[in-house]
A and B are shown apart, each in its own frame.
Chain A
């Protein structure tokens, strides 16, 4: 198999297989959650939970108070650096938008590539710092399961191979691009079966927490 045949496979059958597994897996996960059902709430509602639910989706992204932020400054900075970097790289790079447009039928403006490049570096450094902390902090290390390392690698690889392809590092570009797409397919396939699902479920649980608290008339 030469680089062109490899690239052809990952852009065609590979991507389609990954997308099917991803959509089916994620829909099963989400529908199972939505169809769980809740016990009927017999208490009188103190307020409408909808606005509280919506608010909580956003407020949980900001640090609760200065003290806890100061105590976990490292996680805060590295966590945000990684997540913002990843978001920019996935959704604001021209080739990625072009792919999304071919899938959904609409797109949006991109950022210049050197800017996306900077965010890639931020995300890569943050991820490495977070891994270093996971390995050196005794409590975090004790709490880590093999899945945590698997998911870390699955997220790190697309960023690294994307960075390497853009800068033509060490290997022919055609191979690097193929490996980059393959690593994304690996990530997509792992997505529904690991804690990566938090990218979706996070907002559901925030909404639910906020809504429940709102209906009871307390702050969430």
Chain B
């Protein structure tokens, strides 16, 4: 907090050249689908931006999101920008602990009232406040307190965005996402398990440049990064269209790099930038490594049927349902058929034969 240099100066002191900085601005602009004319504006805004105060709250999470952001690869500009935001509170990364840590959070909230960014990772348990606490304060209470004077909230990771793993059936802690609790603040969901690091810095850059959050899709995700699904951008897509599939993980199809749809790839319903931005400094993404997409940036991805069941299969045991239906249907059908037969034989038994004589009776009299 004491270090309140503009971002540009801080980056230069860390050995980032002007050229490298502009390159980052241009990449960010293109990633976020902004016109090239916006590059100088982004550069200017980031250059002079005072480091935004960021309070990072970790609730029911695995620290994977923080690990992804801080250790994904050797220092890059994204990493440095992330390092240079004034991270006033992050209980995994900060040196202070206990009362000192909480004091830092309170001081940051007081000093930047209405201007700080709140980053949340992890879901919030509603079942029992004791399921997850920090310094004796329940997650729900802390979120409400910090969110009250935040400028905006970034829900990082699928747990914070949609409930994620803790929310998975049967959801023992009653876990919910940030947007289910906070209704009156702008919230950006940056889901993924973990999310792609550049998406976070992209959202931060957008916020610093324009003073507002980027355009979001129907699930609250920045359209620039979550506008396309994995399936449509997948390099294995031609194999899907041709009908060439891997049926097991070690058959000929798998070796030839054919489509993984039958092995449970959830790419068609997963919106994320993995297939274009890729992971580990652009090295690859899961499908390139031969494993189907798990759909980690989508709500309820843990409950989308088995990870290795095709997307078109039911999430429940369809064969058992069909067996029950056949058994009940056979019994009901037979019963109905027998009732019909009984009705028929009763009608036959009650049938009175009419002779010609009977018909002539009236004429006689």
Residues on A lying within 8 angstroms of B by beta carbon are 2-5, 7-8, 11-13, 15-16, 19-32, 34-37, 94-96, 98-99, 102-105, 109-114, 168, 172-175, 177
Contact = CB atoms under 8 A, between A and B. Distances in A.
B333 A28 contact: yes
Interface string B268-285: 110100000000000000
Interface of A is mostly: helix
A4 B262 contact: no
Most buried by B among A3, A96, A98, A113: A98
Given A16-B316, A35-B338, A94 B300 contact: no
Given A4-B299, A4-B300, A16 B321 contact: yes
A95 B305 contact: no
Given A5-B299, A173-B269, A20 B330 contact: no
B41 interface: no
B243 A19 contact: no
Interface of B: 162, 217-219, 229, 232, 240-243, 245, 261-262, 268-269, 271, 298-301, 303-305, 309-316, 318-319, 321-322, 324-326, 328-330, 332-334, 336-338, 340-341, 344
B105 to A, nearest CB: 31
Contacts of A15: 314, 316, 318
Contacts of B218: 2-3, 172, 175
Contacts, number: 145
B300 A32 contact: no
Interface of B is mostly: helix
A26 B321 CA distance: 15
B319 to A, nearest CB: 6
Contacts of B240: 94, 113
Contacts of B271: 174
B326 A16 contact: no
A19 B245 CA distance: 28
A94 B321 CA distance: 22
Contacts of B269: 4, 7, 173-174, 177
Most buried by A among B262, B312, B334: B312
